[in-house]
Chains A and B, each alone.
Chain A
């Protein structure tokens, strides 16, 4: 039986290939994702390893606030001397951390800051000439810097900005720009650039001065003397360390550093794997469909085998073997194609400005095994029903012409089953969205519910094919003449087949519709929230809503023509022991731009705020049982403590509040957070000042000036980029369903060979035959759209309802939906190319003899 099955496959190579391709795409997405994340992981592991290679213990400021962009407490140089004198210490040196607080921008020859795009940090670092062993960087060329006029840059920046040893460049460190000579180019281990981050390396004293850390370091790296373990070292150092600092052994430090990266990596991995799974799911539909059709077409073949003595099991096995062969082939090809996906994803990251470190490409054994298992498994699963159907071919079908397969016991109940399944899946989805279950519960309910929904609709679809085909076939009938009419008639001939094919496309279209509708809704809601809160002539904001230097806000405010300005500082701090967003507002100017929706307060609340006063958002007040008069304790990342009293409670839009949960005055803020960072700078200016303002903001890499009119839209543009990423990922699934349509059409043309021969005999031209096939394809695709788009809108409505507490409105982007419909039409036309050509090229006489 194996021989028969495989030979059968070989004789239908084109069909087998087209079927296999349905799975190849999904498998390649999965293997590509694994290759990418494994490669990145290895590079990161290498980096963290080399950072602490020769270090046994590290003294650093305690991380009080995890999400803060201000640095932790610094380590005084005096401590370094004390540590050095310990008998357990072999060597010790001060370090400046690659921390967002140590901001240093390299300005290229064109006057623009190198790097810094997409939120990638720009670091200023110090090089300790006496303790090379603690230096995680390596010199690619040149020498380390000496004195306050020399700098070493990272290889990534050197390439981006065409920098070379010997050149003079400007570097802006914490607002002060100076000129330096490039004495060397450095790499971080094997890696040229760490995710787009740039580094300007000065000699230690210069760096300390520039970063306002004279006489202090961010940390001390310690190497134990020969014979002392890291644990012993830590024990020895501990008594010297004040309460604001901590000493940990280097391994623990490396692990802590790695954890955040690993979490990020896991997120990326599962994100892309999810889309691979969707593509595989669609692929399984396609395989199921194709195999079902071929089984039906080979009725006589199976019947003959049965008359020759093949048992039902043998016949079933032969279909499984076909499935297995296709699945294995597809998995292997998919695994190899995964490299292509890996390259593609990599290019995507580079385009987004975040080129991630790579060393040698990693193809883990796990990747190979998972690819093979998943591809073969999905194909085998999809073969189950067709294989069972093959067993129902009675031997007598060998003698009867046009024998029909008897219906399965399930088929007669399929309509009821479908309705039941749809109802159950909707219930699951609603439960996932509205019931307050755990995250895992939500994922399972939503994921399972949506999966079941697709199955249910696919099962119910055959009953909808007739009316839908008449509807979407109408333009074809009007414009396509007899071809169009025949096309509609052909589409409804075998409703389950048409429905199955359309269902594959439906899945992709449903998902993109959800993305589009939810995206539009979220976007317009956020825009609405922004417009409700802020009225300003101009807004200075960082493109990814990361904070920017306060000095930049001041620079723009200083331009001639500015009539009003208000800065909003921001950082994360501990408020009553809990991490929270904290903003610093200027009580004298903020009212002009920001509309406070008071719960407890009025027009006089803000202007009368003093250094010990604070405002809180209603959500915070409700969650923490805080009201006017309550006291809050605020601790900054550097350990600075202060107590403030709540003077007012306001209610910002839940979906996007532009001020933090807690706001204090700028005066108080600047005391606790010396390295001021702004979230916004609002400005009003005289007409005609726009050019000057834009010019002032131009050199900033991390802040952009927007007009008040364009700001709401621009504020959400990052979100729009994310949506585009989702569209690209979902496009893969649409391509898979395209293969499904081609498959079905090719098989259907083959099946109708004699009929097509007859049509040609009685006068149908080649062109009419092609047009007929094309129309059929477009009708099938449009049925997929007619099912998918409403389904997507329904799902979006459910989610929007669930988010109603955030005032998310339902916004149906008609333009996008029209675009999706056009995409479906194009998909139909593309899918028809090959089958239409075959239909038109039929040799009429041969076709008539065909049986």
Chain B
């Protein structure tokens, strides 16, 4: 079966509806004969207020795409715009400021600072920016993630699920334009995974938090408003919200094809 390559153009392609736009993104590693192209020309618009999942078999380039959309990595060719700013030519300081104001992260291995309490971890981004913490917002957030009575504990005293909740709260605290989740359930059991995924969905529904999630877990992708499938560095499928079953099917399709 032939691979259907779809150039993704959302119905209303106005940039005010897209927090992130990428055009013709190519990411190449190495030179000449040994060159490897992790992304071969990806164009995508990430819609505001929606949860977009990025899936694909290993080696498909999904993590690379996320890193580039998040400003963690630079494309070899192509343009990326985050919150209206063209990031491809930004220097390190400007990128840092962009991250501070517009981007939140959740990692597979939680990445909490082990010597800070949960509360301290959560407000860390604001402390770094020198921004005063809104205590009402903080209360609401910690209640939302269900950590109100765990705030004084250190990561070593928290379970995996609790640590990831801290990470979610940390990512949300500065109300970023977009939040990136890199395999957020990769290190959690199925029950806890479900809780975290519910949390992520909730933040989209309640706060309108634009979210991009990279995952290989079909149950995780189930909560997304849109699922992009990558294979061999290109977007091969673009599905609206659908069941885990459908997602698994599509995944198999693109892996085989």
Contacts and interface: CB of A to CB of B under 8 A. Distances in A.
Interface of A: 1, 3-4, 7-8, 10-12, 300-301, 304-312, 314, 394-396, 398-399, 851
A629 B2 CA distance: 118
Contacts of A307: 72, 99, 103, 105, 111
Nearest to B129: A309
B185 to A, nearest CB: 15
18 contacts: A3-B120, A4-B116, A7-B115, A7-B120, A12-B115, A300-B111, A304-B111, A305-B128, A307-B99, A308-B125, A309-B97, A310-B128, A312-B92, A395-B99, A396-B67, A396-B72, A398-B111, A399-B67
B202 interface: no
A312 B96 contact: yes
Contact of A851 (B73, B97, B109): B109
A395 B72 contact: yes
B72 A308 contact: no
Contacts of A305: 113, 124, 128
Contacts of B115: 4, 7-8, 10-12
A7 B113 CA distance: 10
Contacts of B120: 3, 7
Contacts of B116: 4, 7
B104 to A, nearest CB: 9
Contacts of A304: 107, 111, 113
Nearest to A311: B96
Contacts of A11: 114-115
A398 B105 contact: yes
B182 A309 contact: no
Contacts of B96: 306, 309-312
A311 B72 contact: no
A12 B115 CA distance: 9
B63 A1 contact: no
Contacts of B67: 396, 399
Contacts of B97: 309, 311
Contacts of A3: 120, 127
Given A307-B72, A307-B105, A314 B128 contact: yes
Nearest to B111: A304
Contacts of A300: 111
B100 interface: yes
Contacts of A398: 105, 107, 111
A4 B124 contact: yes
B170 interface: yes
A308 B128 contact: yes
Contacts of B125: 308-309
Nearest to B117: A7
B34 interface: no
B93 interface: yes
B182 A1 contact: no
Interface of B: 63, 67, 72-73, 92-93, 96-97, 99-101, 103, 105, 107-109, 111, 113-116, 120, 124-125, 127-129, 170, 182
A398 B120 CA distance: 19
B182 A399 contact: yes
Contact of B63 (A7, A12, A399): A399
B4 to A, nearest CB: 30
Given A7-B115, A301-B113, A308-B170, A399 B129 contact: no
Contacts of B103: 307
A398 B113 CA distance: 12
A642 B233 CA distance: 106
Contacts of B127: 1, 3-4
Given A4-B127, A308-B105, 4 more contacts: A306-B99, A309-B125, A311-B93, A312-B96
A809 to B, nearest CB: 60
A763 to B, nearest CB: 29
Enumerate the 3 nearest inter-chain pairs by beta-carbon distance, A residue then B residue, closest first. A309-B100, A11-B115, A304-B111
A647 B74 CA distance: 93
B60 to A, nearest CB: 16
Contacts of B114: 11
A308 B124 CA distance: 8
Nearest to A11: B115
A403 B105 CA distance: 18
Contacts of A851: 109
A464 B125 CA distance: 44
B33 to A, nearest CB: 24
A4 B114 CA distance: 10
Contact of B73 (A4, A312, A396): A396
Nearest to A303: B111
A396 B27 CA distance: 15
B19 to A, nearest CB: 17
B75 to A, nearest CB: 13
B179 to A, nearest CB: 12
Contacts of B72: 307, 394-396, 399
A399 to B, nearest CB: 6
Contacts of A8: 113, 115
A33 B200 CA distance: 64
A309 B107 CA distance: 15
Which of A308, A310, A394 has the most chain B CB within a 10 Å cutoff? A308
A309 B92 contact: no
A309 B63 contact: no
A311 to B, nearest CB: 5
Contacts of B92: 312
A314 B129 CA distance: 10
A774 to B, nearest CB: 29
A395 B128 CA distance: 15
A11 B108 CA distance: 24
B174 to A, nearest CB: 8
Q: Residue among A1, A304, A398, A399 with the most chain B CB within 10 A?
A: A399
A9 to B, nearest CB: 9
A309 B97 CA distance: 6
A4 B105 contact: no
Nearest to B182: A399
A399 B187 CA distance: 13
A86 to B, nearest CB: 82
B138 to A, nearest CB: 16
Contacts of A394: 72
- Output the residue of B67, B96, B101, B125 with the most chain A CB within 10 A: B96
B128 A309 contact: yes
A308 B73 CA distance: 15
B194 to A, nearest CB: 23
B23 to A, nearest CB: 22
A315 to B, nearest CB: 10
Given A306-B96, A309-B99, A4 B107 contact: no
Contacts of B111: 300, 304, 307, 398
Contacts of B108: 399
A1 B124 CA distance: 9
Contacts of A12: 115
A346 B115 CA distance: 45
A314 B111 CA distance: 18
A553 B125 CA distance: 87
A804 to B, nearest CB: 58
Nearest to A5: B115
A304 to B, nearest CB: 4
A401 to B, nearest CB: 8
A16 to B, nearest CB: 12
Nearest to A2: B127
Contacts of B129: 309
A4 B123 CA distance: 12
Contact of A399 (B93, B107, B113, B170): B107
Nearest to A308: B125
A11 B154 CA distance: 11
Nearest to A1: B128
Contacts of A7: 115-116, 120
Output the residue of A3, A11, A304, A305 with the most chain B CB within 10 A. A304
B93 to A, nearest CB: 6
A783 B53 CA distance: 54
A4 B115 CA distance: 8
